[in-house]
């Protein structure tokens, strides 16, 4: 199962100084997002923190949007690793329903944590196609383990949509719902879909 998942691609091989630069810039970007918030991150600030010229940041990431997408991808890779081989119940070893609950909670929290970043990376509040494809495949796997039959890609797509930024923004930010209430609603949806 793990080797079938479309993990976010490894970087193509680079000259070692280029690879070092890239890693330093990414680390600087992630630090700035974590400590100063997405809005505060500029190409200049990342260059300064990484100790390279501004031109290097533009050559590496093209635009601020590209930089944000790279920072998001780095976080996503860590999250994918936790799903594939981290401790249960998010990782393997727990019952499928427990894993589904852990998946929903974890995805909900990471989406809220990264909402500004996801928006800054473009795409109307949705994650990248590879990130989405990974979650669809993981959910298909859990649904199959739960004995659900039917069009699993469609059921997985339906289950994922409420964990993306647009709905969570409306519910958690605009309506001021606590995260636990949104999670409870999501579990109700999951029960409907798995019970059918």
**Interacting residue ranges for a copy of itself, rule: CB under 8 A:** 123-124, 126, 129, 132, 150-151, 153-155, 157-162, 166-167, 170-171, 182, 185-186, 188-189, 191-193, 195-196
Question: Closest distance between a copy of itself and the C-beta of residue 181, in Å?
Answer: 9
CA–CA gap between residue 50 and residue 16 (Å, rounded): 16
CB-nearer residue toward a copy of itself: 30 or 107: 107
Question: Closest distance between a copy of itself and the C-beta of residue 171, in Å?
Answer: 7
Cβ–Cβ < 8 Å for 8, 80: yes
CB-nearer residue toward a copy of itself: 87 or 153: 153
DSSP assigned state of 3: G
> Which contacts of 42-45 are long-range, i.e. CB under 8 A and separated by 24 or more positions?
43/67
Question: Closest distance between a copy of itself and the C-beta of residue 40, in Å?
Answer: 25
CA–CA gap between residue 125 and residue 8 (Å, rounded): 19
Please calculate the CA angle 140-72-93 and round it to the nearest 5 degrees. Answer: 40
Question: Closest distance between a copy of itself and the C-beta of residue 195, in Å?
Answer: 7
CB-nearer residue toward a copy of itself: 13 or 149: 149
CB-nearer residue toward a copy of itself: 21 or 76: 76
CB-nearer residue toward a copy of itself: 17 or 176: 176
Question: Closest distance between a copy of itself and the C-beta of residue 11, in Å?
Answer: 22
Three-state SS at 63: coil
Tokens 């999501």 identify what position?
186
Q: What is the CA radius of gyration of the chain?
A: 18
């Amino acid at each position: 199962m793990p080797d079938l998942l479309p993990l976010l691609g490894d970087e193509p091989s680079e000259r070692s100084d280029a690879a070092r630069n890239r890693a330093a810039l990414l680390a600087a970007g992630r630090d700035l997002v974590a400590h100063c918030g997405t809005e505060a991150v500029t190409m200049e600030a990342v260059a300064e923190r990484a100790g390279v010229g501004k031109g290097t940041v533009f050559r590496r990431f093209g635009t601020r949007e590209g930089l944000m997408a790279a920072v998001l991808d780095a976080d996503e890779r860590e999250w994918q690793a936790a799903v594939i081989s981290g401790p249960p119940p998010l990782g393997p070893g727990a019952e499928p329903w427990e894993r589904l609950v852990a998946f929903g909670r974890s995805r909900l929290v990471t989406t809220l944590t990264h909402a500004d970043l996801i928006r800054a990376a473009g795409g109307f509040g949705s994650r990248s196609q590879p990130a989405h494809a990974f979650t669809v495949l993981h959910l298909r796997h859990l649904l199959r383990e739960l004995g659900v039959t039917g069009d699993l890609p469609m059921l997985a797509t339906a289950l994922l949509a409420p964990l993306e930024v647009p709905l969570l923004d409306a519910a958690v930010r605009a309506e001021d719902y606590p995260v636990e209430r949104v999670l409870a609603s999501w579990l109700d949806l999951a029960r409907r879909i798995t019970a059918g």
